[in-house]
């Protein structure tokens, strides 16, 4: 046991934190934008279309979940994905979810 939690419980808690960190359209957009490499906060702000404060909160949550690395360079802060396998996970999800959900009409 680690800190009162068993290893499976600790692993589950980490997985839950990562999934929760991705469970927002803005954070998902950030993760997708970072798949090709690092970007500064100003670029991510433009991609998300929100104010800097909101984007910073999203980035902090994602970093705490272990999804991102951060590096300060002068006045700019750059972010990159810590886990390159994240895009493979998204591809797996895309393969599971039907592209178009058909509905039967009552006509």
In this predicted model, what pLDDT tens digit does every residue of 67-104 receive, in sequence order?
999 999 999 999 999 987 888 888 888 888 776 655 55
- What percentage of the chain exceeds 90 in pLDDT? 64
pLDDT category, 25, cuts 50, 70, 90?
A: very high
In this structure, how many other beta carbons lie within 10 angstroms of the beta carbon of residue 19? 11
In 3-state terms, what secondary structure has residue 33? helix
Q: What is 7-86's CATH number?
A: 1.10.10.10
DSSP-H helix ranges across the chain: 7-22, 25-33, 41-48, 52-64, 86-96
C-alpha pair distances (Å), 46 with each of 75, 84, 86: 17, 23, 22
In this structure, how many other beta carbons lie within 10 angstroms of the beta carbon of residue 27? 22
Distance from C-alpha of 33 to C-alpha of 68, rounded to nearest angstrom: 12
Give pLDDT, residue 103.
53
pTM of the model: 0.79
- Residues 47-62, mean pLDDT to the nearest whole number: 95
Least confident span in 9-13, 60-64, 87-91: 87-91
Distance from C-alpha of 96 to C-alpha of 87, rounded to nearest angstrom: 14
């Amino acid at each position: 046991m680690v800190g009162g939690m068993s290893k499976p419980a600790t692993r589950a808690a980490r997985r839950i934190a990562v999934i929760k960190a991705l469970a927002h359209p803005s954070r998902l957009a950030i993760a997708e934008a970072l798949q090709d490499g690092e970007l500064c906060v100003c670029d991510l702000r433009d991609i998300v279309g929100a104010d800097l404060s909101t984007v910073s909160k999203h980035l902090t949550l994602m970093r705490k979940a272990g999804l991102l690395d951060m590096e300060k360079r002068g006045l700019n802060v750059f972010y990159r994905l810590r886990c390159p396998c994240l895009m493979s996970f998204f591809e797996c999800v895309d393969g599971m979810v039907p592209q178009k959900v058909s509905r039967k009409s009552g006509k």
